[in-house]
Structure 1
Amino acid sequence: MRITEHRGNDDLLTAGLGLEGLRAMTPPAFIEATAPTSVELRRRALWANWRGIADLTPGGGYGSLYGSTHAVPGREFSALATVPGAQQPHRVLVQVPDAFDLKRRCVVVAAASGSRGVYGAIAVASAWGLPKGCAVAHTDKGAGTDYFDLDSGQGVRLDGTVGPAADGLAFAPQAPAGATGIAFKHAHSGDNPEADWGHHVKQAAQFALNSLDTAFPQAAPFTFDNTRVIAVGISNGGGAVLRAAEMEGDWLDGVVAGEPNVLVEGHGSRALYDYTTEAALLMPCALLHPALAPLPQPPLQAQVAPLWAAQCAALGKAGLLDGTDTAALAASAYQRLHDVGWTDDALRAGALSAGFDLWRSVAVTYASAYTRAPLGEMPCGYGFSALDAAGKPRAATAAERAAWWSDASGIPPGAGVFAVPPAGSSPMADLQCLRALWTNSNEALAAKLHAGVAQTRAGFPRAGLPVVVVHGTSDGLIPVAFSSAPYVAGAKAAGRDVRFWQVRNAQHFDGFLGLPDYGARYVPLLPYVYQALDRLQAHLDGNGPLPADAVIPTVPRGAGNPLEARHLAMPAQ
């Protein structure tokens, strides 16, 4: 266990940056680029994870209308934990505020969103729990930013600094002789971490109790019987806390899941890999259909539109769409997505993921995880590497390695690391290969992928556990129709106490609401997650019922307008 103190200009919530420091367009600098200190790395990781999750722009409402970035002094306890049967550990980290309320023992346990590192839920869980005197437990749920440089044989220590494999790293892969490039835990652990998300969350909660025993020995023991435990997460973190909700035992008191990536049996539920590879193939072309105009304007829109038209043509040539010109092909792609449940709202918001080629990035990483592919044997021949000016793989520099842990989001591209297709392949062939792993269930590797996905299927919460699910109806990355809606329907049919807030005009990425057209069209989801936590806590205190199901009729703020309470239309008590 590693214990650090965070007070003065290095607090728990923002590492001393405050709201203005988090808003800065450039990350906190390292004094020595090739050898940053653990303090510098932590500060920069907090900066990156806050900005990746929350809309901190002036006028966006954070810190004034909802949320807090006020300094919270305290201690952090961190360690590596391993779930039974796993080859690689996951990070667990507990933040204990100096103002921890010993009379109202409270732990908020959270899993990082996406494949982010251990601070990936800082804006979700810590911003709500720390100011209330709760300890906050985090896990990277077997993913994270513990990249390993195969060329230099170096990875990431517990404190975020770079070192050799002998230093007891957070991730050290089984690498064949002569392996080159970059490995990271989600893709190359040899585990299927998503299958164990619930166990990751429970281990983080148990580590929180152990840490509180150390922090307050005079008040020990801290147990699940005498300490309230609330789980919260968004995106993959939301899926993780729902997996925790199904676990046996009376260890968890309540759950709030925002925009969860969750797969259940029936009710229209679809696997992330299924609709991700489908979107990677068809969505760029479908977005050219006039029914979706005007699209929210992501960066590089002018540059990607011709690429989308070229993808239409390639799909037509491959016989995957009907039509001979771009308009007809776009209509065909649009109709095919509609036929399998994509809504216009989800497609429009998905323009951001299509513009950034995010669908391919997700598919490459998850294909490797689901099949437990060894290094050098990733599906469809992919690998990961730094690139030179000509786009060719090269060895990473010391400065690049030093910043991976703080700067990366857990899935390349980012922080100077890129997914590299096999030599001589084409973008369309690569996408078809990734898609075939889902559609060709008779092929051996596809069957292995299907088996991996089946291991991630969720059950429903244990009886009596209060659960609130919050999801934006415009989510274009994890469409509500494929995830939350089937989960809630199945849970209710099983007699479970699950409440459901569907938020109109909310998409997946609050962090992108700083883009003017996205901020004008969409409301943030975080205010509803915080409010759901408030309502859940009040219910557990005996001060009110759980929130009723609601479809929340939000009002987009429009261009140039600050977010106001009336735009959020928060449900009444």
Structure 2
Amino acid sequence: MHTRRHTWLYLLALPAMALSTTLAANPGQGAGPGAGAGPDVDKGRGGPPILNLPPAGLIGEIRQQYYDGSSDDLLTAGLGQSGLAGGAPAFADPANPTAAELRRLAIYNNYRALVPVAPGGGYGEFFGPAVGSSTPDGRISGHEWLTLMSSGEQNRHTVMVQVPDSFDSRRPCMVTAPSSGSRGVYGAIGTGGEWGLKRGCAVVYTDKGTGMGVHNLDNGTVTGIDGTLVEAGSDDAVFTAPISATDLDTFTADDPNRIAFKHAHSRANPESEWGQNVLDSIRFGFYVVNELYGQQDAQGRRIPTIRPGNTLVIASGVSNGGGAAVLALEQDTERLIDGLAASEPNVNPTVRRDFTIRQGAGPVISEHSRSLLDYQTALAVYQGCANAAPSVSDALFNLVTPGREAIAANACARLESLGLVTGEDTAERAESALLALIETFGLQPEQALIQPVTWWANVSTGIAVTYANAYGRFGVEDKLCGVTFAASDAGGGVIPLPEVAERAIFSTGNGIPPTGGVNLIDGNAAQGVPTEISQALSPTTGNPDYSLDAFLCLRALVDSDNEYAARVADGIDEIRASGDLQRRPAIFVTPRADQILPINHTSRPYVGLNRLVEGKQTGLRYYEVLNAQHLDILNNLPGLDAQYIPLHHYYFQALDKLYDHLRGGRPLAPSQVVRTEPRGPGAPPLTLANLPAISSSPGEGDVILFENNQLRIPE
């Protein structure tokens, strides 16, 4: 691993020879989409050339590595397509994993978290490293540069640039790959990373200031940029909790063995800077490609001949990464970005009540655009009870853990006592809870059958805790609503995080507990000691009920009027999207059964908002995919593989269509519903019959329209 100190690069450059680069070096400049969309940044004509300097905000060192594609590579860390589908790579010494081993396992886990790899599900045929690759195992050689950037003490985020050897400096392209969820910097390796690298594009990554920054408050160790553990406060630290020494001593004495996570506890509301983080990664990307391929002057210094004006730049991302890409395009005042392709983007549109949404002949929806914290706290409160509804009794993996039926009944009884649901028994109360999620909170009926397995994975509870802390800029010592993060034993009691788990967490964690051996701990449990939430007894009733008291507290931060709720509201205001994509070409691909980012609060209202802001000249297209849900990884599970197709396939199709539009001028297909066909009983292998293409001329019954201030979605 080579490193480059760059403080000296901020010094003013001395006069040098005149710039000799001409349009002949980049024949496509100014000749069409992606070749003249950005400003001419060569301000040195008639004077000294502008030298290639890194963007402002870099921290510490730039780490450089070249991978030759044999034992290691950019896309698969040497595992190849078959290795990614196989067993997890092991550490030679689990108590002391190397940076290379951590990187390999991080790529393995992050790839598989986004891409279904089970046989018959499309891996190796419709997508995967070797599909469309020149190598049989899909390994890609090239350069990887890694560093930290910051716009403030706690706003540091990891950025990385991968430049494949197939990169063509005469026809350059660049793709963004901000991490989905709160994952580390390799979080988009299997999504924007795979697509861009196989196209020969430089891929620019960022963890968006949320990913895998973990601080063990007792021993003072934190995650370093390469995944190894470093001391808190180190220049290489991804995150150090902002807590004074006095407060830290008090906190660890009262609440030992706790873990702080960057997304939740940085006091920075990282989402408010997601767009700028993506733009930072693009700026770093231009620096890197020019260091590798820019023209040299007589003194051997690099001149930035690869510029926004002659480079095709696609902003892309999945889920949170998609939302970050959307915000980046909205905030792109430098015209760095030519177009956008986002899959199931986490966008919180600015609330406008002058348009509505309607699916088929269903009800008109005017109460759209709820914030993520609004609907996730609703899920955290209601879904534990709703799982007991007879109408979802056939939902796979519902109430599979022993004792869950009784806990669901307790949750339903508690909600009924508060007047939040109605019914004489658990079944009626559970149906009432499910109805509240659909009718009051605007969730799709299609998500009801996939939501129980997501609940089983503690998704909504983890999101509710993390985002409430982030939006209100609360610190770990605030113990918001009594919930903290720690490892726990079989009885739910807090224990120290095992060293081998802590040393591996960069590679095994996703940034939002429960993850990597760290769980959600209810500090107000009736046991009298902090207890993991699924085993905690209610301080109100003495019964286990999924820690409803804690989540009712978090829910109150959305619909109450107090100091804490005001702080949260201010944080949510900071992350609202404007709907202004500057009329650049853009594509959203979203599953109708999205159980994590309900489409009546994310993609659909964003499309409506965009039409109000940009009118008929908008460049945004919206493709809503049936029989797909948010987490393609769940398609690996028996039963779910028969019901859902991989949305990942349509994300790649959207990128293909956008690329062809920007490079070749092909029109983008109209907004439409894509009617896929599930695999059915026994889940036979996917074929093209299951995955109809996004149509360039969809039928009248499939076209999505915005008319009379209403977004109209076919049934």
TM-score tier after normalising by the smaller chain length? over 0.9
Partner SS, residue 476 of structure 2? coil
Q: CA deviation at 1:350?
A: 1.4
Distance 1:133 1:121 in 2: 17
Structure 2 vs 1, CA of residues 461 and 245 (structure 1 numbering), >3 Å: closer, same or farther?
Answer: farther
For 2:552, which of 432, 441, 444 is the aligned residue?
A: 432
* Matches for 1:350-499 after TM superposition, within 5 Å: 350-424=451-525, 426=538, 427-440=547-560, 442-494=561-613, 495=615, 496-499=618-621
Residue 298 of structure 1 deviates from its aligned partner by: 5.6
| Contact kept in structure 2, 1:298 and 1:515, CA below 8 Å | no
Unpaired runs of at least 5, structure 2: 1-61, 131-137, 297-302, 356-367, 527-537, 539-546, 697-715
- Alignment-derived partner of residue 230 in structure 1: 314
Partner AA of 2:375 in structure 1: Y
- The one-character-per-residue Cα deviations of 1:464-514 (angstroms, maximum 9, x if unpaired) are 311100100011111111110000111122222210000001100011110
The alpha-carbon distance between structure 1 residues 552 and 305, as it changes in their structure 2 partners (threshold 3 A), is farther
Question: Letter of the aligned partner of 2:113 in structure 1?
Answer: G
Deviation digits for residues 517-553 of structure 1, max 9, x if unmatched? Answer: 1111001111111011111011111241012111001
Residue 569 of structure 1, aligned match among 687, 692, 698:
692
Task: Find out whether 1:258 has 2:358 as its counterpart.
Answer: no
Question: How far has the Cα of 1:62 moved from its partner?
Answer: 1.6
d(CA) in 1 for partners of 2:628, 2:205: 25
Q: Secondary structure at the match of 1:225?
A: helix
Q: Secondary structure at the match of 1:469?
A: strand
Contact conserved, 2:458 with 2:514, CA < 8 A, in 1?
A: no
Secondary structure of 1:435's aligned partner: helix
SS in 1 for 2:636: coil
Match of 1:309 in 2: 409
The aligned amino acid for 1:232 is: S
**Per-residue CA shift, 1:323-368, capped at 9, x if unaligned?**
2201221222122222222222012221222222221111111111
Query: How many angstroms does 1:293 deviate by?
Result: 4.7
Partner in structure 2 of residue 343 of structure 1: 444
User: Contact between 1:245 and 1:460, CA under 8 Å: does it hold in 2?
Assistant: no
1:191 matched residue in structure 2: 268
Larger Rg: 2
The alpha carbon displacement at 1:86 in A equals 5.5
**Distance in 2 of aligned mates of 1:18 and 1:255:** 29
Distance in 2 (CA, whole Å) between partners of 1:302 and 1:466 is 50
Deviation at 1:301, TM superposition (A): 5.7
Three-state SS of the structure 2 residue aligned to 1:229 is: strand
Distance 1:6 1:461, change over 3 A: farther
Corresponding residue SS for 2:606: helix
What residue number does 1:209 align with? Answer: 286
Higher alpha-carbon deviation: 283-292 or 365-374: 283-292
The count of residues paired between Structure 1 and Structure 2 equals 570
1:55 aligns with 2:116: yes
Distance across 1 between alignment mates of 2:83 and 2:238: 29
Separation (CA, whole Å) in 2 of partners of 1:152 and 1:331: 47
Worse-superposed segment, 150-159 or 127-136: 150-159
Unaligned ranges ≥5, structure 1: none
Q: Does 1:81 align with 2:81?
A: no
Look up the match of 1:20.
Answer: 82
Q: Matches of 1:378 and 1:449 in 2, distance apart?
A: 15
Q: CA shift at 1:270, angstroms?
A: 1.1
Conserved 8 A contact 1:67-1:527:
no
Instruction: Give yes or no for contact 2:217–2:248 (8 Å, CA) kept in 1.
Output: no
8 Å contact from structure 1 (residues 110, 121) kept in 2: yes
SS in 2 for 1:241: helix
Which amino acid in 1 is paired with 2:348?
L
- The structure in which a higher percent of residues are helix is 1
2:676 is aligned with 1:551? no
Of 234, 242, 248, the residue aligned with 1:177 is: 248
Give the 3 Å change call, closer, same or farther, for CA 420–297 of structure 1 in structure 2: closer
The offset of 1:302, in angstroms, is 6.0
Change (3 A) 1:520 1:298: farther
C-alpha displacement at 1:177, in angstroms?
2.9
Residue 265 of structure 2 aligns to which amino acid in structure 1?
A: H
Residue matched to 1:110: 177
Work out the CA distance in 2 between the residues paired with 1:218 and 1:32: 44
Structure 1 residues 76 and 303, CA gap change in structure 2 (3 angstroms): farther
Give the SS at the match of 1:96.
Answer: strand
Q: CA deviation at 1:290?
A: 3.2
Counterpart secondary structure, 2:449: helix
Q: Aligned equivalents of 2:583 and 2:380: distance in 1?
A: 40
**Could you tell me which residue of structure 2 aligns to residue 517 of structure 1?**
639
Give 1:41's aligned amino acid. L
1:292–1:344 CA contact under 8 A, matched in 2: no
C-alpha contact 2:215 2:232 (8 A) present in aligned 1: no
Contact 2:387 2:398 in 1 (8 A): no
SS in 2 for 1:556: coil
CA deviation string 1:106-131 (max 9, x = no partner):
11012111111111111111110101
The runs of at least 4 consecutive aligned structure 1 residues that moved more than 6 Å come to none
Alpha-carbon distance between aligned partners in 2 of 1:462 and 1:255, rounded to the nearest angstrom: 9
Q: SS of 2:162's equivalent? A: strand
Conserved? CA contact 1:522–1:556, under 8 Å? yes
Deviation at 1:4, TM superposition (A): 1.1
Q: 1-side partners of 2:403 and 2:107: how far apart?
A: 32
Equivalent-residue separation in structure 1 for 2:65 and 2:160 (angstroms)? 11
* Structure 1 stretch displaced more, 405-414 or 168-177: 168-177
Provide closer, same or farther for how the CA distance between residues 299 and 254 of structure 1 changes in structure 2, counting only shifts above 3 A: farther
- Note if contact 1:77-1:93 (Cα within 8 Å) is conserved in structure 2: yes
Contact 2:444/2:592 (CA < 8 Å) preserved in 1? no
Measure, in 2, the Cα distance between the counterparts of 1:554 and 1:437: 39
Give the superposition deviation at 1:166: 5.1
- Once the 2 structures are TM-superposed, how far is the Cα of residue 300 of structure 1 from its aligned partner? 2.8
* Aligned with residue 154 of structure 1, among 195, 202, 221: 221
Q: What whole-Å deviation, never above 9, does each CA across 1:290-321 have from its counterpart, x for those lacking one?
A: 33452133683665344323211221123321
SS at match of 2:174: strand
Q: Is the 8 A contact 1:304 1:355 kept in 2?
A: no
Q: Tell whether 2:99 aligns with 1:35.
A: no
Give the one of 234, 241, 249 matched to 2:325.
Answer: 241
**Aligned match of 2:105:** 44
SS at match of 2:309: coil
User: Which amino acid counterpart does residue 23 of structure 1 have in structure 2?
Assistant: A
Q: Percent identity?
A: 38
Change (3 A) 1:391 1:302: closer
Partners in 2 of 1:44 and 1:435 — Cα distance? Answer: 36
How far 1:409 sits from its partner (Å)?
A: 0.7
Bigger CA drift: 355-364 or 299-308? 299-308
Aligned amino acid, residue 415 of structure 1: G
SS at match of 2:404: helix
Distance 1:435 1:76 in 2: 43
Matched residue, 1:200 = 277
- Of stretches 359-368 and 316-325 in structure 1, the one that deviates more from structure 2 is 316-325
Does 2:161 match 1:94? yes
Task: Kindly indicate whether the alpha-carbon contact (under 8 Å) linking 2:154 and 2:239 is maintained by their aligned counterparts in 1.
Answer: no
Using the alignment, how far apart are the partners of 2:153 and 2:371 within structure 1? 23
CA distance in 2, matches of 1:305, 1:545: 52
What secondary structure does 1:273 align onto?
Answer: helix
- For normalisation by structure 2, the TM-score amounts to 0.77
- Partner of 1:2, secondary structure, is strand
Q: Distance in 1 between matches of 2:193 and 2:177?
A: 9
